[in-house]
Structure 1
């Protein structure tokens, strides 16, 4: 999905901090995009549940949150398709 660089296998003498640093360096933009999507999705769902659907049962909130999974993949797949054109 994301444009992650291929990371080499960790060396035996490489510390945990070095491995974490190289993982973050290779996946920085993907991690930021994932975090931004999650924050925006949870904010929108929370606002909808608190104000628009305030009289609905709690499982509606969980269904909205669960709908974030296909929304995430649909958004990023359509973004890749738009970039390809």
Structure 2
């Protein structure tokens, strides 16, 4: 079975962590550099994953501050 793309893995992991309550509204996600190290990936797929999570309403990204779980993530 082929490995899923890194960006999909990040999206799945973050949404699962939010759904399980491991990440709560207002929690800060790891930095792009930390996520790159965690997934052994370049910044490009990590940024793409964060953008998709932002567009879907799971997180909010604040320039220079980082990415945070939204107050009301999707059910």
Normalised by the shorter chain, which TM-score bucket? Answer: 0.3 to 0.5
Q: Which structure shows the higher helix fraction?
A: 1
Q: Which structure shows the higher strand fraction?
A: 2
**TM-score, structure 2 as length reference:** 0.33
**TM-score, structure 1 as length reference:** 0.31
Larger Rg: 1
Q: Which has the higher contact order (CA 8 A, sep 6+)?
A: 2
